[in-house]
C-alpha cells in the first residue's frame, strides 16, 4: 500500500465520518428545537412566562468539540498508517 493510497483512504473516511457527524448533529438540533418549542407552548398554555436557557454557546461548543476530536482522530490515524508503511518498506 502506497502513501498516496493511505492518504486517499483516510480522506474518504474522514469525509464520510464528517458527513454522518453533521447529519447526527442536525437531528439532535431539530430534536432540541422541537423540545424547546413544546416547552414554550406548555408555558403559554399555563400562563407562565418562558425564560430561555440560552444554550447556543453549549451547542456551539459541542459541535466544535466533536469536529475537533474527529479531525484529530483521522490526523493521528493517517500519521500512524504512514509511519507503519514507511517502517515496512524500509525493512524490505
pLDDT value for 39: 87
DSSP string, 2-54: -HHHHHHHHHHHHHHHHHHHHHHHHHHHHHHHHHHHHHHHHHHHHTPPP----
pLDDT value for 73: 93
pLDDT value for 59: 83
Domain ranges of the chain: 3-47+54-86
Q: What single-letter DSSP state applies at residue 55?
A: -
**Which pTM value belongs to this model?**
0.70
pLDDT value for 66: 92
What is the mean pLDDT of each successive set of 10 residues along the chain, which is 92 residues long?
Answer: 84 90 90 88 87 77 90 92 87 74
Amino acid at each position: 500500500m502506497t502513501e498516496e493510497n493511505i492518504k486517499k483512504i483516510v480522506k474518504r473516511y474522514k469525509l464520510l465520518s464528517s458527513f454522518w457527524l453533521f447529519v447526527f448533529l442536525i437531528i439532535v438540533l431539530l430534536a432540541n428545537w422541537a423540545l424547546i418549542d413544546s416547552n414554550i407552548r406548555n408555558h403559554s398554555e399555563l400562563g407562565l412566562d418562558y425564560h430561555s436557557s440560552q444554550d447556543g454557546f453549549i451547542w456551539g461548543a459541542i459541535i466544535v468539540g466533536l469536529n475537533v476530536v474527529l479531525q484529530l482522530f483521522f490526523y493521528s490515524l493517517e500519521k500512524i498508517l504512514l509511519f507503519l508503511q514507511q517502517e515496512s518498506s524500509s525493512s524490505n
